[in-house]
Structure 1
Amino acid sequence: MDIRQPNELHWFKSTYSGGDGGECVEIAPDSTVIHVRDSKERGGPQLAFPRSAWSGFLADLGRGRI
């Protein structure tokens, strides 16, 4: 799997995230995966999930399963 470097991705926070610098994650969609990182540790590790797994995760969130 080709994982791009963090500076090559367009990162954004959820509209539900507050602007006070609290506990937030950022995501960056790619053609094959969704990258996830801690907004306070932008140069730190990141996770990459296949789009199908990310979609399933969001669906479960919407159903209150997570």
Structure 2
Amino acid sequence: MSTNNDLPANLEWFKATASSGSGGCLEVAFLEDGRVALRDNEDLSNPPFVVSDHVWRCFLDGANRGEFNIPV
């Protein structure tokens, strides 16, 4: 896992449709080498956080299982 200021300028960034344009969204971009870059679209001055494909898939699995739900 790393941050990286040397990412290609032409990345295509995606965000969840649930954001509905209200800002404060996490955006992801898929790199050619399989890594995934993540950024906060409210503060683009911070460099994206980059994880491996394996880390991204593990995160998605946990999210789908509700393992990261905010405790009530």
Same fold (TM over 0.5): yes
Higher relative contact order (CA 8 A, sep 6+): 2
Q: Deviations over 1:29-61 (max 9, x none)?
A: 112200000101224211001011101100100
Note the residue ranges of structure 2 that are not aligned, 5 or more in a row: none
1:38 aligns with 2:40: yes
2:58 aligns with 56
The separation in 2 between residues aligned to 1:42 and 1:34, in whole angstroms, is 16
* Number of equivalences: 63
Superposition TM-score, scaled by structure 1 size: 0.79
2:7 aligns with 4
RMSD: 1.8
Superposition TM-score, scaled by structure 2 size: 0.74
| Structure 1 moving runs of 4+ over 3 Å | none
Note the residue ranges of structure 1 that are not aligned, 5 or more in a row: none
